[in-house]
Structure 1
Amino acid sequence: MEKLEEQIAHLTRAVDDLSDIVARQEGEIVTLNRRVHMLMQREGEREASSGGAVVLGDEKPPHY
Structure 2
Amino acid sequence: MTPSDPPTDARRLTDLEERLTHLQHLLDQLNAVVLGQARQVERLERELANYVTAVERLAQSGLGEDLPHEKPPHY
Structure 1 and Structure 2 fold alike (TM over 0.5) = yes
Matched, 1:10 2:34: no
Give the letter aligned to residue 30 of structure 1. Answer: E
Whole-Å separation in 2 of the counterparts to 1:50 and 1:15: 52
Shift of 1:11: 0.4
Question: How many residue pairs get matched?
Answer: 56
Whole-Å separation in 1 of the counterparts to 2:62 and 2:20: 62
Whole-Å separation in 2 of the counterparts to 1:19 and 1:33: 21
Give the letter aligned to residue 33 of structure 2. Answer: I
Whole-Å separation in 2 of the counterparts to 1:43 and 1:17: 39
Give the TM-score of the pair, scaled to structure 1: 0.77
Give the TM-score of the pair, scaled to structure 2: 0.66
Unaligned runs of 5+ in 2: 1-12, 70-75
- The structure, 1 or 2, with the larger RCO (C-alpha pairs under 8 Å, 6+ apart) is 1
Give the letter aligned to residue 50 of structure 1. Answer: G
Match of 1:47 among 59, 65, 69: 59
Shift of 1:50: 1.3
Runs ≥4 in structure 1, deviation > 3 angstroms? none
Structure number with bigger Rg? 2
